Structure 1
Amino acid sequence: MSKSVAIITGASQGIGRAAAVRLARDFSALVLVARNRANLEETAEKVGAVGAEALIIDADMARPEAAKTVVDRALAAFDRIDALLNIAGAVPQIDLFEMTDAQWDDGLGLKLHGARRLTIAAWPALKAARGSVVLMSGNSALFPKAPYAAVGTINAAIVALAKAFSDRGIADGVQVNSVLPGPVMTGRRRSYLQHWAPLHGMTVEEATENFPREAGIARYGQPEEIAELMAFLVSPSARWMTGSTLRMDGGEVKSI
């Protein structure tokens, strides 16, 4: 194994769980972080079946104290941090004119500030290990739309945050990149389709079938495909790649 310990937030489901299972092939220990402990235990079983040790931390990364708790417990258990994957972040998909300040704050608190605080808290250990950080954004960062303005706005902020961290990381030896998934079939995607369907005069079943065509893609992505990209980014093969924004969306974004 080229590295030892990785922290993965949002590890209880979807892309976070897929990333944990994939990274269990390359890391000896994973720190699995999310709010739902029961789901984390399921992820830990899958990680263990691959052969890596798992430490479960049920924490809400929107809370300011959570970052220090996660890093302290990771270091107490394993004495190092080689990689950090900031995947947690559910942003409300509500029209620009309907979102309240509280809903904006909820989205910003978990996805943006949670990732920012955890990366800063883990930075000394990452610097010591010459480690890697991945921040998950989304391709809506490239085309924010009124019906789901917060998603695009916060994802764009994540890309900018990753760029800033990568600039500091050049001097500190910490590699930082961001990933922009497109329409990936997860539980969150299914919730999105429930919102998207009535806006387009469809049932959820019709929307699920028709959305790829509306988005100009052949099919939905799978969590495991995004996990493979993240595994590459924290591998020795990608070591010279830093400050990059990698889009994996089946060709949904047509611009150069």
Structure 2
Amino acid sequence: MSSSVAIVTGASQGIGQATAIRLAKDFSALVLVARNKANLFDTAKAAEAAGAKTLVIDADLAEPAAAQAVVDQTLAAFGRIDALLNIAGAVPQIDLFDMTDEQWDNGMALKLHGARRLTIAAWPALKEAKGSVVLMSGNSAIFPKTPYAAVGTINAAIVALAKAFSDRGITDGVQVNSVLPGPVMTGRRRSYLDHWAPLHDMTVEEATARFPQEAGIARYGEPEEIAELMAFLVSPAARWMTGSALRMDGGEVKSV
């Protein structure tokens, strides 16, 4: 394992946590960023067991000053940044006509603006290291239906943002891609199903089975499967891949 440092946001749970643990095989040090400090230490323990040093930073990347603070602490601890994986940001699935301005703005603040600010703040170090960036989008970017208008709009913006960063990256030697997962069984999705099922006179098991059927897929994805894709994108094997938006959704999106 070479001396290399990756920042992973949203590392306290779900895809972010799985990605951080997976990257511990490939990076000598990981900077784990999220708002839930207690869960971050769980991620750190698993990453350290796999051989990586860790730095835990509890930060709300919706706050404008947080991005630079994360970069400053990373450079102070490890002196470099080789990869940045922007995974933080859950956007509520609320009907377009029911959302308040505050709910819309909150979704933008963390997932879109947080990733934008952190990538810009880390860019000089990434340029020096000829590093890699991944931005987490979602396949709702391709079909932003009314109940998912906010998440679809933000995810589409993230794909465009990643392409814009990748354009600069061609000159600066920084690789940038985005990932568009489909339905993944995370703790947040389990909580949603627990809440949704009794409202529709279903058991949780019935509700869990219904969503993949409606999406036309065989099953939910697992966080570890998305983590493998993330690890590939920041590996030497994917170095010529930049400006790409990669779907991993079990076949939910049928378009070419």
TM-score calculated relative to the size of structure 1 = 0.97
Report Cα offsets for 1:23-59 as digits up to 9, x if no partner: 0000000000000000000000000100000000000
Distance 1:138 1:201, change over 3 A: farther
2:136 partner letter: M
Report Cα offsets for 1:56-99 as digits up to 9, x if no partner: 00000000000000000000000000000000001011010000
Question: Does 2:120 align with 1:94?
Answer: no
Q: By how many angstroms is 1:191 displaced? A: 3.7
1:49 partner letter: A
Question: Does 2:150 align with 1:165?
Answer: no
- Take 1:154 and 1:204, find their aligned partners in 2: how far apart are those partners? 29
Aligned to 1:111: 111
Q: Secondary structure at the match of 2:180?
A: strand
- Take 2:130 and 2:201, find their aligned partners in 1: how far apart are those partners? 51
Distance 1:97 1:62, change over 3 A: same
Q: By how many angstroms is 1:206 displaced? A: 1.6
Matched ranges for 1:68-217 at <5 A: 68-193=68-193, 197=197, 202-217=202-217
Gap regions ≥5 residues in structure 2: none
Distance 1:158 1:3, change over 3 A: farther
- Take 1:199 and 1:143, find their aligned partners in 2: how far apart are those partners? 26
Report Cα offsets for 1:130-150 as digits up to 9, x if no partner: 000000000011001111211
Q: Secondary structure at the match of 1:127?
A: helix
- Take 1:93 and 1:191, find their aligned partners in 2: how far apart are those partners? 13
Q: Secondary structure at the match of 2:134?
A: strand
Report Cα offsets for 1:182-216 as digits up to 9, x if no partner: 01000122244356657876444321111111110
Aligned length: 256
Report Cα offsets for 1:121-175 as digits up to 9, x if no partner: 0000000000000000000110011112111111111101001000010000000
Matched ranges for 1:20-99 at <5 A: 20-99=20-99
Contact 1:3–1:82, Cα closer than 8 Å, also in 2: no
Aligned to 2:241: 241
Q: Secondary structure at the match of 1:178?
A: strand
- Take 2:76 and 2:3, find their aligned partners in 1: how far apart are those partners? 18
Q: Secondary structure at the match of 2:5?
A: strand
Of 201-210 and 182-191, the range deviating more from structure 2 = 201-210
- Take 2:146 and 2:88, find their aligned partners in 1: how far apart are those partners? 23
1:166 partner letter: S
Distance 1:197 1:167, change over 3 A: farther
Gap regions ≥5 residues in structure 1: none
Report Cα offsets for 1:3-35 as digits up to 9, x if no partner: 600000000000001000100000000000000
